[in-house]
Amino acid sequence: MNHQRSLLVVFLVSILVFLVGVGALAAPFRVAVIMPSSINDMAFSQSMYDTLVAIQNEMGEDNFQFVYSDNMYVVSDAAAAIRDYASQGYDLIIAHGSQYGSSLMEIAPDFPHTSFAWGTTVDTFVDQGINNVFAYEARSEQGGYVNGVLAARLSQTGIMGVIGPIETGDAKLYVEGFKAGVMATNSDAVVNVTWIGSFSDVALASEAAQTHINAGADVLTGTAQMVVGAIGVARQKGVLWFGTQADQTSLAPEIVVGNQIYDWTVVLKSMIDLIKEGTLGGKAYALTLANGGLKITVNDQAIVGQTINDIIEGKIDLNLGEIH
């Protein structure tokens, strides 16, 4: 009797384990993201949102699901959200902003079976004995260099203006890369840089663009979400623009020449694979041109399209005399 009962228990337990196992296999991979600005900011937050949508389209909704909290510019609110998502059992929680680092260092040890990621940074907190945090950054100086080379070729005045938020992180890398690209192409060129001290002051970004144009700049670039104000001014004044972080072409197709786009797919896919294998953190990633995380798009409407249009509409006089 006793023997029979224990057999029954073993049988039931094994069924249970099997069901749980099947359940785990079939359960989708669930990601929660906390972002500092809006998912449609045409910059940093949007780059992550677009990546998550792309991954979901590829893996299917049955295998990959994500939720997000955007506009979490108050760090203490973000910390509450991170803790909340962690206790809800998400597989991966992404704190998409370097300002969330200290919160994550506090929260991650309380949820040792949950994986966290944050950026842009290189610090996974392994030195602090925390093993469930991934780090990611964007080597934005690479695309910055490409944009700089193009900008220097296109500028007629040889003066270029850059609008940055705060002198740190991927913004600083981008600006340094841009300057290096310009200087390598035209060592006589001038690159003027303004830091406006804010990621959200659209009005000041727009006035900075105006100031650059007054100082003779005919090509502008800038990074972070407040640059939409600068793009508005560039469009009005017919000055060329180079974008970074997300594709900003749709804001002003006539003047946005090219963009460096952050595509976090390589990073996130690798994290997902590691988590499925049981590694919850400890690795630092970087988006580069080499690994396809940084993409350069060129908008053929800005110069090529404009020229074609002008010829079609007869604005360009192609009367070159007798040639044939």
Partner 1 sequence: MIGSILIGILSSGIRLATPYLYASIGETFGQLSGVLNLGVDGIMLMGAYAAFFTVVKTGNLALGLMAAMVTGALLGLLMAFISVTMKAEQGISGIGLYLFGLGMSELLFKKTLGAVQTVNGFPALHIPGLSRIPVLGQIFFQHNLLVYIAFALVPLAWFVLNKTPFGLRLRAVGQNPQAADSLGINVNRMRYGTVILGGLLSGVAGASLSIALLNVFQQNLTNGMGFIAVALVYFGGWRPRGLLIGALLFSMVNALQLWVQVRGINIPSDFALMMPYVITILVLAAMAKRRVHAPAALNVPFERGES
Give the binding site for partner 1 (CB under 8 A). 37-38, 40-42, 71, 161, 167, 192-198, 200-204, 206-208, 210-212, 214-215, 225-226, 228-229, 231-232, 235-236, 250-252
Quote the CA–CA distance of 157 and 189 in Å, as a whole number. 8
- Quick one: 220 or 294, whose CB is closer to partner 1? 220
Pairing of strands 219-222, 190-195: unpaired
Does a cis peptide bond (omega within 30 degrees of 0) precede residue 297? no
Quote the CA–CA distance of 143 and 47 in Å, as a whole number. 15
User: Scanning the structure block, which residue is given the tokens 């950054």?
Assistant: 137
Give the bridge partners for 259, in sequence order: 243, 297
Q: Kindly state the smallest distance separating residue 251's Cβ from partner 1, in Å.
A: 6
Q: Kindly state the smallest distance separating residue 189's Cβ from partner 1, in Å.
A: 13
CB-CB neighbours of 253 under 10 Å: 15
- Quick one: 37 or 132, whose CB is closer to partner 1? 37
- Quick one: 114 or 155, whose CB is closer to partner 1? 155
Q: Kindly state the smallest distance separating residue 38's Cβ from partner 1, in Å.
A: 4
- Quick one: 200 or 301, whose CB is closer to partner 1? 200
- Quick one: 28 or 232, whose CB is closer to partner 1? 232
Q: Kindly state the smallest distance separating residue 286's Cβ from partner 1, in Å.
A: 26
How far is residue 257 from each of residues 97, 240, 298, measured CA to CA in Å? Answer: 28, 7, 6
Q: Which 8-state DSSP code applies to residue 302?
A: I
Q: Kindly state the smallest distance separating residue 184's Cβ from partner 1, in Å.
A: 19
Quote the CA–CA distance of 315 and 323 in Å, as a whole number. 21
